[in-house]
A and B are shown apart, each in its own frame.
Chain A
Amino acid sequence: MTQKQRYEQLENIIKVYLPEDVTVDQIAPESHFMNELNINSAHLVDIVLDVEDAFDIRLENEDMEQMQTVKDAVAIIDRKLAQ
């Protein structure tokens, strides 16, 4: 899977959880999940589970804590897949 494909897959997961006042094209690598995309903490939990299923990886609590922006999520996914 290319880097671009990974990003697109992540974007597809995230877009389901966007509140009504945020559109898909507002998702950028620098976007902060809670502060910019307005995704609440409960939904962030579900995003993590969806990421686990999509990439067949397991995210620990500390991974979740580090996952503040979309770019953070990509980095964590890359690291897990490399392991």
Chain B
Amino acid sequence: MDRRVVVTGLGVCAPNGICLKEFTQALLEGRSGIRFQPELRDLHFSCQIAGKPWVKENMLNNYFTPLQLRGLNASGLVYGVMAGMDAWKDAGLASNTGEVPSWERGIIFGTGLLGVDKFREAILHIDNKNVRRLGSTSVIQTMASGISAYLGGLLGTGNQVTTNSSACTTGTEGILMAAERIAMGKAEVMLAGSCSDSGPYIWGGFDAMRILPSGHNDTPATASRPMSASASGFVPGSGAGALVLESLEHAQKRGAKIYAEVLGGAVNSGGQVGEGSMTAPNSSAVRRCIQEAVRSAGIAAEDVDAINGHLTATTKDALEIANWSAALGRAGADFPYINSFKGTMGHCLAAAGSLESVATLLQLEEGVLFKNVNCEDLHPEITDIIAAHRIPQNTLPFRPNIIAKASFGFGDVNACLIFKGYKA
């Protein structure tokens, strides 16, 4: 990258933690945010558990005015605003309350489908021949870019304000897009993040595909089992993660706290050819994406100390490990440490990449690698490739220098980021 880009702010609204402190503690302890959802039981879902941020009514008043709360029925928008505003504050930045837009500050905040509950409300009104009853906020709560638009208004940003969407790679892709924009000199500060709604209308399609676990409705905390021999599908999740990215120069000038440097990254697609399809990854593309990310970071494959995988707890986990191993040319005991945060959060879909990137960077802050959960019984196809001790079963006191983070999504799309610990 041309200009150095650093991370100066983090924010989360996660199933296992609403603020950074709570989220960090949950990750240190491996505390699960996956809970039984009576709503899914009532609707006869096979999978009746999910990861959903526990947002209490009184918290909303810290982020929204009473007027903004009226008729607000878009959970992803709520999560995104909470995470985005928290990240901005964590970076020591203030909302622009002046008359001039902050030209050098922008937002890339992705999602899959925003405000699905609000959209349902609208559909019921419309089908009932009552379109006039929709109110004025139906559009802003249900347009995909509603989240970036909302944050743009709250922060007064004047640079690019947009929403990206690439299924489960959305969050990781958005961070790279924002970093590239800063590296190119087109912005100084970018809020990068992503959010995903909660609820049956988001998760139903996956339940219908029979790719969610149905045998853990009574045992939600052990349902999501990345890298485990007994993994039986991903647990659906929701929430939002956000990062403030900034040019190193700009961050230094204002004396900002620096979490890490974004060294490089790559996105690509397997084109749904060969073994790739709408829902299955093309391994050659996955490997290429990882290798391009490493190359763009100007590092060697052996420099990677730790990986935060996509690792959703489906049958594809072993294939992902094989792809990392082949891409980096490392196996057995030489393989980097690897973890997945989906064991405690579930798969937060469009929010996964940003939430997991925040968690990845909190490891640098804490000087640890957060534990994996629910993989005491590692899948033998995984331990055939890498040594079991590379998959921490307990939070490990180890401060990585370089961490790779990848996400893969429907549409055969891939994104990989390389972060480096920052030393002033």
Contacts and interface: CB of A to CB of B under 8 A. Distances in A.
A17 interface: yes
Interface in B21-77: 66-67, 70-71
Interface size range on A against B: under 10
Nearest to A60: B132
Dominant secondary structure at the A interface? helix
Contacts of A46: 70-71, 135-137
Chain A CB count within 10 A is highest, among B67, B133, B136, for: B136
Contact of A43 (B66, B133, B136): B136
A17 B133 CA distance: 18
A16 B136 contact: no
B66 A16 contact: yes
Interface string A2-26: 0000000000000011000000000
A45 B66 contact: no
Contacts of B136: 42-43, 45-46
Contacts of A45: 135-136
A16 B67 contact: yes
Contacts of A34: none
A42 B135 CA distance: 8
Contacts, number: 17
Interface string B131-169: 001011100000000000000000000000000000000
Interface in B173-195: none
* Size bin of chain B's contact surface: under 10
Nearest to A18: B67
B67 A49 contact: no
Contacts of A17: 67
B74 to A, nearest CB: 16
Contacts of B135: 45-46, 49
Contacts of B71: 46
A16 B70 contact: yes
A34 to B, nearest CB: 14
Contacts of A49: 133, 135
The interface centre, meaning the residue of B66, B133, B135 with most chain A CB atoms within 10 A of its CB, is B135
Contacts of A43: 67, 136
Interface string A41-63: 01101100100000000000000
Contacts of A16: 66-67, 70
A43 B66 CA distance: 13
A47 to B, nearest CB: 10
Interface string B243-265: 00000000000000000000000
A45 B66 CA distance: 17
Interface of B: 66-67, 70-71, 133, 135-137
13 contacts: A16-B66, A16-B67, A16-B70, A17-B67, A42-B136, A43-B67, A43-B136, A45-B135, A45-B136, A46-B70, A46-B135, A46-B137, A49-B135
Given A16-B70, A42-B136, A42-B137, 13 more contacts: A16-B66, A16-B67, A17-B67, A43-B67, A43-B136, A45-B135, A45-B136, A46-B70, A46-B71, A46-B135, A46-B136, A46-B137, A49-B135
What are the nearest 5 A-B pairs in CB distance? A42-B136, A45-B136, A46-B136, A46-B135, A16-B67
